[in-house]
């Protein structure tokens, strides 16, 4: 098929590259000239495993092209994907400005009927708005004489608007697209549904994972899925606080809970809260969607509140150890991106943590495998008291503690002896529960994870051992 993908962010670029890999002819369109020039040179503006190979190989084969001209993108296209940003407005709602601009341009430029697919995450009812915006532009063309009556009728009756929300995990987006858990398509015309089913068949033919529904149900499915995953994260983080108070080990509790197949292990890892481009924005948007139709979203609102407080909860572990004023304290931060295998720092917990520590007078040494440039040039630009390092051990030099924020694989099994030699004080604040508290106690580190009161656990262990010795003496 001939496809146009409008927007070359995470979703648009992955979508275009993966469809072209299956032999479709794809034109990706973006108004950012610098980004399009980069892509035409084979340079990828984002880090996503496997994406660079797909872009370069399919560009070389001619199945994937990049342009700033929407008119060129629409030439011969059967299906047009809208994959532009829907940033959060100040009131929490999704901003549809870019979606409207693209929809109106499609109405102004299309010469043949197309299926317009909303790939962007949009509120329920956006499909109707997109249809309306396109129809309005077609009517303008008809009234000013640039469309004949027959052509106007042909275009206005022939185009369709479909919802096809994405369920891609940053850091594993290519694999998610190639081997999807499900493909959700909302379409009100049977012929549009069949066209999308045919397009996705190479990705779903081994297992039937194509789920068809109406447009509004598809739009709500995306928000519902993200809100439920965010709920699991906030729930385990709230449970972790209880575990610390009662002297339980949240890591063991998590395993006990997750072994229930109705619950599962996914998204019940305690930490410093969710971030990224999806969960924070989509949870707030769902709250506004509910409020607009007179529903009080009590659970979803609580999910957002727990997540907001989780960063303060983790920061307080550092402040309780060193005091509220941190002048003269040096801390190393391992991990800046909101999750591993991406350089994306949107809503990353590290931003909040670094800003709070430096505002209190701390010097902060930063290291991340992929997000350093984005941190230095944008997210943490101009912040006093930060230093950047190209090696995780160099970042430890002369520090009073290490703060693990993102669970990159290279942080899982560090050289404890190397760390001991580099650090002034052997203290670790683990925001992702990557380490075994017993092991760290044995090698002489102070350790502050999430959901485990290590001091209580050590005292409990000593008491248990003492009881065993008393029994042996008897």
**Could you list the active site residues?**
278
Cβ atoms of residues 65 and 27 within 8 Å: yes
Cβ atoms of residues 85 and 37 within 8 Å: no
Helix-, strand-, coil-residue percentages of the chain, each rounded to 5: 50, 15, 40
- The beta-strand segments (E) located in 255-351 are 330-334
Residue 296, classified by CB atoms within 10 Å of its CB into exposed (0-12), middle (13-18) or buried (19+), is exposed
Instruction: Encode burial over 308-323: b for 16+ CB neighbours within 10 A, e otherwise.
Output: eebbebbbebbeeebe
CA neighbor of 50 nearest in space, from 462, 474, 341: 341
The token pair at 443 is: 């090698």
- The beta-strand segments (E) located in 335-445 are 363-367, 386-388, 401-404, 427-430
| Total Cβ atoms within 10 A of residue 381 | 10
Q: What is the CA radius of gyration of the chain?
A: 26
CA neighbor of 216 nearest in space, from 305, 118, 283: 118
| DSSP conformation letters of 85-125 | --PBPTTSSB--HHHHHHHHHHHHH-SS--EEEE-S---TT
Bridge partners of 88, per DSSP, are 94
Report the C-alpha gap between 223 and 303 in whole angstroms: 14
The token pair at 332 is: 């190393």
3-state DSSP assignment of residue 163: strand
Report the C-alpha gap between 276 and 186 in whole angstroms: 26
């Amino acid at each position: 098929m001939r496809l146009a993908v409008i927007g070359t962010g995470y979703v648009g670029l992955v979508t275009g590259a993966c469809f072209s890999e299956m032999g479709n002819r794809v034109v990706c369109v973006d108004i950012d000239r610098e980004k399009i020039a980069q892509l035409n040179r084979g340079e990828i503006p984002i880090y996503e495993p496997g994406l660079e190979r797909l872009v370069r190989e399919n560009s070389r084969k001619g199945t994937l092209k990049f342009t700033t001209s929407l008119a060129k993108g629409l030439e011969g296209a059967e299906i047009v994907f809208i994959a532009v940003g829907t940033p959060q407005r100040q009131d929490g709602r999704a901003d549809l400005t870019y979606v409207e601009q693209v929809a109106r341009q499609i109405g102004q430029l299309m010469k043949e009927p197309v299926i317009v697919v909303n790939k962007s995450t949009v509120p329920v009812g956006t499909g109707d708005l997109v249809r309306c915006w396109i129809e309005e532009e077609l009517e303008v063309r008809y009234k000013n004489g640039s469309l004949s009556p027959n052509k106007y009728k042909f275009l206005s009756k022939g185009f369709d608007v479909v919802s096809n929300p994405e369920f891609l995990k940053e850091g594993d987006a290519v694999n998610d697209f190639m081997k999807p858990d499900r493909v959700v398509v909302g379409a009100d015309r049977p012929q549009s549904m069949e066209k999308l089913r045919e397009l996705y068949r190479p990705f779903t033919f081994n297992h039937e994972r194509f789920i068809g529904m109406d447009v509004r149900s598809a739009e709500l499915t995306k928000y519902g899925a993200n809100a439920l995953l965010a709920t699991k994260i906030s729930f385990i983080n709230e449970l972790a606080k209880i575990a610390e108070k009662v002297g339980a080990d949240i890591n063991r509790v998590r395993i006990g809970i997750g072994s229930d197949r109705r619950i599962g292990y996914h998204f019940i890892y305690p930490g410093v809260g969710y971030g990224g481009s999806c969960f924070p924005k989509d949870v707030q948007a769902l709250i506004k969607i509910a409020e607009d139709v007179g529903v009080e979203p009590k659970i979803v609102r609580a999910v957002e509140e727990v997540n907001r407080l989780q960063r303060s909860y983790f920061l307080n572990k550092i402040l309780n150890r060193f005091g509220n004023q941190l002048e003269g304290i040096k801390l190393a931060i391992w991990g800046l991106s909101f999750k591993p295998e991406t350089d994306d720092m949107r809503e990353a917990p590290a931003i909040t943590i670094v800003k709070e520590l430096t505002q209190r007078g701390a010097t902060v040494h930063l290291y991340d495998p992929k997000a350093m440039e984005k941190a230095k040039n944008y997210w943490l630009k101009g912040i006093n008291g930060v230093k950047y390092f190209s090696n995780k051990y160099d970042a430890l030099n002369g520090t009073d503690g290490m703060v693990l924020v993102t669970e990159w694989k290279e942080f899982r099994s560090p050289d404890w002896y190397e760390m001991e030699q580099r650090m002034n004080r052997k203290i670790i604040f683990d925001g992702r529960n990557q380490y075994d508290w017993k092991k760290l106690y044995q090698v002489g580190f102070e350790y502050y994870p999430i959901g485990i009161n290590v001091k209580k656990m050590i005292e409990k262990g000593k008491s248990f051992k003492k009881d065993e010795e008393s029994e042996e003496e008897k």
